[in-house]
Amino acid sequence: MIQPVLLEIGVVFLGIFLLMMESFSFKSNKVTLAHWAIFGLVCVFILSFFIETNPVGMKNSGFYLVDSLSLFFKRFALLATILTLILAIDYIPIVQRLVPAERPEAGSGEFFILPVFTCAGLMWMASASDFIMIFCALELVTISLYIQVAYTRRSLASLEAGTKFLVLGALSTGFFIYGITWIFGMTGETNLALIQKNLSIVPEANHTAILFGLAMVLVAIGFKIAAAPFQFWVPDVYQGAPTPITAYLAVASKAAGFVILIRVLQPFFVLESFQDKLILVLVLLAALTLIYGNLAAIPQTNFKRLLGYSSIAHAGYLLVGLAAIGDAFAGRAVVFYLGGYFLMTFLAFLVMVPVTKATGGDDLSHFNGLARRSPGLALAMLIAAASLAGVPFTVGFFGKFFIFEAAMNQELYLLVLIGVITVASGFYYYFKVIRAMYWQPAPEGCGEVAVSPLSKLAIGLCTLLILVLGFYPQLLIRFLP
Amino acid sequence: MSSVSPLLFLILVPILSAVLVMAGANPRFTSILGAALNVLFFLAVAVFFNPAQADFQFVSSFPVVPQLGISFTLGADGLSLIMLFLSVIVTLAAVCVARAPLENARWFYASILLISAGVVGAFASVDVFFFYMFHELALIPTFLLIGIWGSGDRQAAAWKATVYLATGSFILLLGIIGLYLIQPEGARSFDLRQMVANAQAGQVPDSPVVYLLLLVGFGILVSLFPFHTWAPQAYASAPAPASMLHAGVLKKFGLYGLIRLAVPILPESVQAFAPILLTLLACNILYVGYCTIAQRKLDLMLGYSSVMHMGYIFLGFVALNQVSLTGASLMLLSHGLTIAVLFALCGEIRERTGTLDFSELGGIARATPKLGLAFGFAAMASVGLPGFVGFAGELLVFFGSFASGEPQMGFLDGKEVFGFNGYQIATICAVWGIVISAIYMLRAYRRVFMGPLSDRWSRLPDLTGLPHAAIVILLAIMLFFGFFPQILVNLVTPALLLP
């Protein structure tokens, strides 16, 4: 049995070790670094099953929380990073073309190492139970992501994405800090558990000030999870960033945002007078996000951008689940949805990277006739799109079902109705990629798309899990907090 | 926990055949073999079925989400047995009729087989959740079948049908969740038997909202007026096997669902909303009926006619008595068989002539007498001529619905006189609908098969081989049950749970 905090320390050490290797080893093939990173993360993932669940000494520190939710998201972050690295290995030729350097492989090593540091930040975030700790972990994640988004320096789109992400990220950080100071000023604490304790003795007159602080914090988290009206950075950044980093942003960063949201809201939900207002805010956010994400996705012709809007839409469904948090099953529904979202989004990106490499672009038209060239890849993408849309017998359907069930049980009828209407528009834009693959003829002179064995394994596993969980969700539910 | 239900094999055979086809087996041969095997499996199940027993038989259950009472439960009673029969026999006919496209024959047959697995699964499910899930299995194959191998404006038709059906099915999902949530806490389950038991114990409040969600959701899937506009275009554009399965079997899912769920659990709401539904179904019969007359192409005409005939079954459902519900159940089977034959023949004609425009066709019964005869039979069956099972169904629906509701008494010149209530007015509209359907069917027959034969069509080949056999079998079944409808009535009666 090992101390849980050793997991994060292990990941940080892995990152430093890889940096050393990058600097001092004379190997020109940087892909080896990625293999080492994947190996190391897999080891940490395995170790995560042998940790002390009730560690001595950590209990009362107040900074670091060990519960089933944090453990689940640590594994989530580890797996997401592993898949991102697999994507990065496939994507590296494009990165090398777009990074100015003397030799093609120079300057591509950090592309594999930065995600490891991000991973450590994500894992800390899952355990953070103090505003200061949350802030530090958040900054570790965000700052390493700034670099990764702007990594391909010769691509203007990537630079633009990096700048946008940096400016808006900094702005949201400002909101976050400002909110924390208000809450600290009213309750005298930054620790979430102590805030909850102090809330009951704060005089009624000061509640408005606390709500104001909380609203600022919500704005900042809204940026992270890409909820409308704080979503406007998403399409450009997703489209401009290197594809593996887009996947990382869409899955890991968003999931971490939701963990923080769950943690931050928890103490405030206990008080009756806050509960109604918070639910109202969440309902409004969810409705806006659902409508904006789904409707704006309809006219898109670039697949990466489409996935950006789709990630906004999925944030909307997750917010519906959070608004229904009073239901006994809602918490698990949200986490289940995140698990399903992980699988289907990564599957879509895993198919997209080799296709982009073979056809030279990531528009929907680059998928034309894929079913005739690579039936296996097309089938995987078909399943990913079906799951994202919410077709039964895929994990995406069960995710939506659980969330709608919880919301109906909490009598959020209007929200559910908006959800259903937006699901229908989701069918339209996700099926556009199916149409491109199956209806349209393949362009001349295109052969089968080459896929590396590691990607093949990942694609196979994701596809299988989507289908198995689409029939037997209990497999994942039993691991949920 | 019981042993494995034989019904599971009925679902697995088409899925496995589809996997084999995708993996590289001869697509046409494998599909026909799989479909034929399924018919044999079904006959074996039917032999062991005990018609005297009212409850579900061959039940097996496997918990999937125990927290919410979802389990993968299979089982069959008389009504579902009839629907399963319809599913397997139409599947066999569909794969026999299917013309392998030049390229990608694998996906074509695999899509057909997946639709078949979906309908069999839906009708074999006792769990409402899986009943819903299996129906949705057809969504993507239909999208691909219409979009890739359809004719006419196939892309628009595929989009329209997909978005309509997705919307309808998610509204339906809300209805099903609502149905679950109005169950008493502690006894909540998606198991149909549990739901009905709760309702019979008087523990389920009759929720009009849930009924409306179910009605709109199922209504979109069944193409109830005014949600019907996706259907004619989709059926006209789809390749023949897809229309056969979709119009013949899959669309019956909605009405089957209403008879299964709304009748025993929400009878008061059904009666409360009867005036609205009666108006809508009268529009289905009259308005869509007149639209059908106006069509100038055979495929669109058949598409509209299949929408129109849903009105009769809705009438049988909403009248909510033993006779009308039995009639509605019979019509589920009869309409499924009839429209499958008609779409199969329509596909055969398109295959031979390349056009279905009435103005270009004419007299082809001279060149293809068997095809003409078969179409004549099917057209008569569709109109509801005695001797076909549709006649028995329509008759029961009319008798049942005319007897439904309170008699309306009015005063004329101070004397008390008899007046018609809503059910009776709708019944009269429906009877007029028979005249309408006779007009369009006979007109179509005359335009396509009668009259002078132009030189263009003088060398058309007649029906031969497997498509011929499949169509003859379907017609024979229609005639057989037309003469012995009592077999079906005996099967259905114990399954109908009247309030």
- Tokens 């209530």: give the residue: B421
Q: Mind listing the pLDDT tens digit for each residue in B99-153?
A: 767 677 888 888 999 999 999 999 999 999 999 999 888 888 888 888 888 887 8
**Which of B64, B68, B147 is facing A438, going by the closest CB pair?**
B147
Interface contact A382, partner B, CB < 8 A: yes
Q: Which residues contact A325 (CB under 8 A, 6 or more apart)?
A: A265, A269, A331, A334
The predicted-structure confidence for A227-254, as pLDDT tens digits, reads as follows: 888 888 999 999 999 999 999 999 999 9
Indicate the pLDDT class of residue A28, thresholds 50, 70 and 90.
Answer: low
Please state the three-class secondary structure of chain B as a single string.
Answer: CCCCCCHHHHHHHHHHHHHHHHHCCCHHHHHHHHHHHHHHHHHHHHHHCCCCCCCCEEEEEEEEEHHHCEEEEEEECHHHHHHHHHHHHHHHHHHHHCCCCCCCHHHHHHHHHHHHHHHHHHHHECEHHHHHHHHHCCHHHHHHHHHHHCCCCHHHHHHHHHHHHHHHHHHHHHHHHHHHHCCCCCCCCCEHHHHHHHHHCCCCCCCHHHHHHHHHHHHHHHCCCCCCCHHHHHHHHCCHHHHHHHHHHHCHHHHHHHHHHHHHHCHHHHHHCHHHHHHHHHHHHHHHHHHHHHCCEHHHHHHHHHHHHHHHHHHHHHHCCHHHHHHHHHHHHHHHHHHHHHHHHHHHHHHHHCCCECCCCCCHHHHCHHHHHHHHHHHHHHHCCCCCHHHHHHHHHHHHHHCCCCCEEEEECCEEEEECCHHHHHHHHHHHHHHHHHHHHHHHHHHHHCCCCCHHHCCCCCCCHHHHHHHHHHHHHHHHHHHCHHHHHHHHHHHCCCC
Q: How far apart are CA A323 and CA A284, in angstroms?
A: 9
Sign of the CA dihedral B335, B336, B338, B344? positive
Q: How many CB pairs under 8 A join A and B?
A: 84
A466 lies within 8 A of chain B by CB: no
Task: Find out whether A270 and A197 touch, Cβ atoms under 8 Å.
Answer: no
pLDDT at A58: 53
Domain parsing of chain A, residue ranges: 1-270, 286-481
Q: How far is B318 from chain A (nearest CA, A)?
A: 26
Q: Do B177 and A393 touch (CB under 8 A)?
A: no
Q: Please, are residues A258 and A318 in contact by the beta-carbon 8 Å criterion?
A: yes
- C-alpha dihedral sign at B84, B87, B91, B94: positive
Cα A323 from Cα A403, distance rounded (Å): 10
Contact (Cβ atoms closer than 8 angstroms) between residue A68 and residue A331: no
Tokens standing for A199?
Answer: 């809330």
Looking at residues A8-28, what average pLDDT do you find?
86
Identify the pLDDT of residue A27. 65
Closest Cα partner for A253 from A109, A148, A402, A110? A148
Contact A471 B174 (CB under 8 A): no
- Is-contact B471 B372, C-beta < 8 A? no
3-state secondary structure of B453: coil
- How many degrees, rounded to 5, is the angle at CA B219 between CA B439 and CA B14? 90
> What confidence score (pLDDT) does residue B1 get?
43
Report yes or no: A409 at the B interface, CB cutoff 8 Å: yes
Chain B contact present for A404, CB below 8 A = yes
Q: CB–CB of A167/A109 below 8 Å?
A: no
Q: For residue A367, which amino acid is it?
A: F
Tell me the mean pLDDT in the region B376-393: 90
* Average pLDDT value over all residues in chain B: 88
Nearest residue, CB atoms, B64 vs list A382, A391, A474 = A474
Q: Tell whether the model's pLDDT for residue B158 goes beyond 80.
A: yes
Q: How far apart are CA B105 and CA B22, in angstroms?
A: 10
B61 in contact with chain A, both atoms CB, cutoff 8 A: no
In this complex, do B148 and A401 lie within 8 Å of one another by their Cβ atoms? Answer: no
The shortest C-alpha distance from A308 to chain B (Å) reads 22
Cβ of A424 within 8 Å of Cβ of B181? The answer is: no
Nearest Cα to Cα of residue A231 among A126, A319, A145, A140: A319
B183 closest CA partner among B267, B270, B60, B266: B266
Task: For residue B131, give the chain A residue with the closest CA.
Answer: A392
Beta bridge partners of B65: B70
Would you place residue A54 in the very low, low, confident or very high pLDDT band (cuts 50, 70, 90)? low
**Which of B131, B170, B189 best probes binding to A when mutated, by most A CB atoms within 10 angstroms?**
B170
Q: What is the spatial distance between Cα A286 and Cα A258, in angstroms, rounded to a whole number?
A: 13
pLDDT at A348: 94
pLDDT at position B4: 80
- Percent of chain B residues past pLDDT 90, beyond the cut: 33
Q: Do B133 and A438 touch (CB under 8 A)?
A: no
DSSP conformation letters of A337-366: HHHHHHHHHHHHHHHHHHHHHHHS--BGGG
CB B451 within 8 A of CB B442: no
Distances (CA, A) of A35 to A119, A284, A357, A390, B109: 16, 44, 21, 34, 42
Terminal Cα distance for chain B, rounded: 30
Q: pLDDT, tens digit, for every residue of B10-21?
A: 899 999 999 998
CA neighbours within 13 Å on the CB side: how many for B116? 36
Count the neighbouring beta carbons within 10 Å of the beta carbon of residue B16.
16
Helix boundaries (H) for A100-155: 110-127, 131-149
First and final C-alpha spacing in chain A: 21
Environment class of residue A445 by beta-carbon count within 10 Å: exposed (0-12), middle (13-18) or buried (19+)?
exposed
Question: Is the bond preceding residue B66 a cis peptide, omega within 30 degrees?
Answer: no
Q: Count Cβ atoms below 10 Å from residue B160 Cβ, excluding itself.
A: 18
Looking at residues A130-140, what average pLDDT do you find?
91
- C-alpha to C-alpha distance for B337 and A416, rounded to whole angstroms: 38
Q: What is the pLDDT of residues A386-425, one digit of tens each?
A: 999 988 889 999 999 999 999 988 888 899 999 988 998 8
Asked if B102 has any chain A CB less than 8 Å from its own CB, the reply is: no
Whether the per-residue pLDDT at B314 is higher than 80: the answer is: yes
Helix (H, G, I), strand (E, B) or coil at B63: strand
Picking from B249, B245, B250, B253, the residue whose alpha carbon sits closest to that of residue B109 is: B245
Confidence (pLDDT) at A343: 94
Q: Does B156 touch chain A (CB under 8 A)?
A: no
Task: State the average pLDDT for chain A.
Answer: 88
**Beta-bridge partners for A215:** none
Residue A116: what pLDDT? 94
Which sign does the torsion angle of CA A360, A364, A369, A371 carry?
Answer: positive
CB-based contact (8 Å) between A22 and chain B?
no
Q: Show the beta-strand stretches assigned E in A138-243.
A: none
Determine the residue type at B59: V
Determine the residue of chain A that is closest to B64 in CA distance.
A472
pTM for the predicted model, two decimal places: 0.91
Note the pLDDT of residue A400: 92
Tell whether B147 lies on the interface with A, counting CB pairs under 8 A: yes
Contacts of A273 (CB under 8 A, 6+ apart): A204, A207
pLDDT for A63: 79
Lowest mean pLDDT among A356-370, A399-413, B412-426: B412-426
What is the C-alpha to C-alpha distance for residues A174 and A223, in angstroms, rounded to an integer?
A: 12
The answer to whether the bond into A229 is cis (omega within 30° of 0) is yes
Of A386, A428, A439, the CB nearest to B147: A439
| pLDDT at position B162 | 87
Q: What is the pLDDT of residue B357?
A: 85
Quote the tokens at residue A356: 């982009």
pLDDT at A59 over 60: no
A329–B68: do the CB atoms touch at under 8 Å?
yes
pLDDT of residue A56: 56
